[in-house]
């Protein structure tokens, strides 16, 4: 049973590599030439969260813009649906294709690219004040201070395109962030962090 599974896996890998090796160069990048733009949604600390627009130029360089946000007035007794009463982000990425192909198949295309991004985010926390027996209330909520965030990073991405139009970009970046929250004097280093940042999107190419 194990041997048959190994043989099936080897056959699949052989088929994939044969498609890569013998795909017609004239067909390569056909999807990206015919459908350079895309609209959809994006989720990532570096790319930003929300609606996104992406476009490839000369089948080589691309630009992506993403952004979104929400705001809920603070109810003193009920609070807000999330831990923040306001949160927004807007991000920009510049992308460079390393490899792209249709693999000789009309329903599947993909490309590997490198990317660099810049993001701005801001949020306002809803602060919970827990009362005690000496207070005339149980719990109240107030609006906290505005906190800005700026981030920059670089990484790689893979874009899968199904049925010529459905685009699924998956990215992995390393990014540095500055968060303008209040810290004690001499502890400004706590405002900075460097972290791996996975991202994903869902777009329609046109």
Contacts of residue 4, defined as CB under 8 A and 6 or more positions apart, other chains included, come to none
Residue 10 is encoded by which pair of tokens?
């080897």
The token pair that represents 123 in the structure block: 């949020």
- Tell me the average pLDDT across 53-63: 90
Residue in the block written with tokens 């946000």: 69
Higher pLDDT, 122 or 136: 122
Cα–Cα distance measured from residue 147 to residue 144, given in angstroms and rounded to the nearest whole number:
9
Q: What is the pLDDT of residue 134?
A: 54
Q: What is the pLDDT of the chain when averaged over all its residues?
A: 81
Share of the chain above pLDDT 90, in %: 51
52 and 201 in contact (C-beta within 8 Å)? Answer: yes
Alpha-carbon gap, residue 101 to 107, rounded angstroms: 12
Instruction: Give the mean pLDDT of 140-152.
Output: 90
């Amino acid at each position: 049973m194990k041997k048959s599974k190994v043989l099936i896996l080897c056959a699949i890998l052989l088929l994939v590599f044969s498609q890569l090796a013998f795909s017609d160069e004239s067909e390569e990048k056909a999807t990206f030439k015919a459908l350079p733009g895309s609209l959809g949604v994006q989720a990532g600390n570096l790319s930003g969260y929300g609606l996104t627009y992406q476009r490839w130029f000369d089948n080589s360089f691309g630009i992506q813009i993403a952004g979104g946000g929400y705001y809920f007035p603070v109810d003193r007794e009920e609070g807000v649906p999330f831990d923040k009463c306001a949160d927004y982000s807007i991000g920009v990425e510049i992308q460079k294709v390393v490899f792209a192909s249709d693999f000789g198949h009309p329903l599947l295309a993909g490309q590997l690219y490198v990317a660099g991004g810049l993001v701005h985010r801001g949020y306002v926390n809803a602060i919970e004040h827990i009362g005690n027996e000496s207070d005339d209330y149980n719990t109240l909520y107030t609006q906290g201070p505005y906190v800005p965030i700026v981030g920059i990073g670089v990484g790689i991405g893979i874009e899968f395109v199904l049925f010529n139009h459905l685009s699924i970009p998956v990215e992995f970046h390393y990014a540095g962030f500055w968060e303008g929250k209040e810290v004690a004097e001499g502890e400004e280093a706590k405002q900075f962090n460097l972290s791996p940042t996975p991202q994903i999107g869902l777009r329609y190419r046109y």
